[in-house]
Amino acid sequence: MARSPAIDEPRRIRARMITVHTQFLSHFKEIAGTEQDSFALDTPLVSELAHRIADRYGPRMQAVLIDPDTADLNDRGTMFVDAKGRRIEMDDTLADGDVITFMMGIAGG
């Protein structure tokens, strides 16, 4: 019995582009020169968003955004939160329409 060509074809996962919105506060706003931006992402991961932001805004943004020693989000005085106020990490998944806020942490007590 002949197999269907559809069975022989490799399965392909179709990536759906998503749009993620960013809010830049404090030093991030100063570097970006804007308070808000949007990014179309092929891969819905924070890591892709971080690299796209660094590519768009240059080495100063990369320095405050990505820790050069770990390649993770820089946690030295910075906060990256979703619309629900949760801290995000590089391997977190994003959804279409998500808003991510980038801000400098403020020490207090």
The whole-number average pLDDT for the span 58-76 is: 92
- Residue 13 pLDDT greater than 80, yes or no: no
- Domains, the chain, in order of start with CATH, read 17-104 (3.10.20.30)
pTM for the structure as a whole: 0.80
pLDDT band at 79 (very low <50, low <70, confident <90, very high): confident
**Encoding tokens for residue 34?**
């804007």
User: If phi over 0 gives left and psi between -120 and 50 gives alpha, with beta otherwise, what is residue 63?
Assistant: alpha
The whole-number average pLDDT for the span 41-67 is: 96
